[in-house]
Structure 1
């Protein structure tokens, strides 16, 4: 019998043991936003929040309710740029990373 583990549990475990993976998820979410795929980007950010800071702590850091943050980072969520920026700043501080964009010519 094959052993299986929930995908979200796997992501959480990997983020907690591998800071480079957490950085890669953040980078991927930002790339997706910039390439016009916000729905997928929000879901990646949601997984990253769950694996790192948690929605309750994030809510305190960005002065929003955790329920509101859950809605913002759902597939149908529609966060403002201000809210998205606050979420990214909180994640950046939690992960202790710097966000730098590298733009490549198409």
Structure 2
């Protein structure tokens, strides 16, 4: 019998032991959103929220109901730009990081 570990549990454990991993997940979620891959970005952001701030605390920080935040970051979620910005800002503040945006020209 093969023992497996749930992916979400793996993310929580890795974030607990490696704060840089949490920052990398936030960076990846932002990059995916800006690159036109919102479905994957929402799922990464959801796992990051679960592993760090949690949805109840996120609700307080964003002044949005926890249940609404869960829906926004679900596979079929469709958060507005205002809500998405509030979520990113709350997680960014929680992780104590800033965003450094650079424009890269694509040939």
Which TM class, normalised by the smaller chain length? over 0.9
TM-score (structure 2 length as normaliser): 0.94
Aligned residue number for residue 92 of structure 2: 92
Q: CA deviation at 1:66?
A: 0.6
Deviations 1:50-71 (A, max 9, x none): 0000001100111111100000
TM-score (structure 1 length as normaliser): 0.95
Structure 2 residue ranges without an equivalent (≥5)? none
Structure 1 residue ranges without an equivalent (≥5)? none
Aligned residue number for residue 19 of structure 2: 19
For residues 74 and 16 of structure 1, the distance between their equivalents in structure 2, rounded to whole angstroms, comes to: 23
How many pairs does the alignment contain? 106
Deviations 1:69-89 (A, max 9, x none): 000001211111111111111
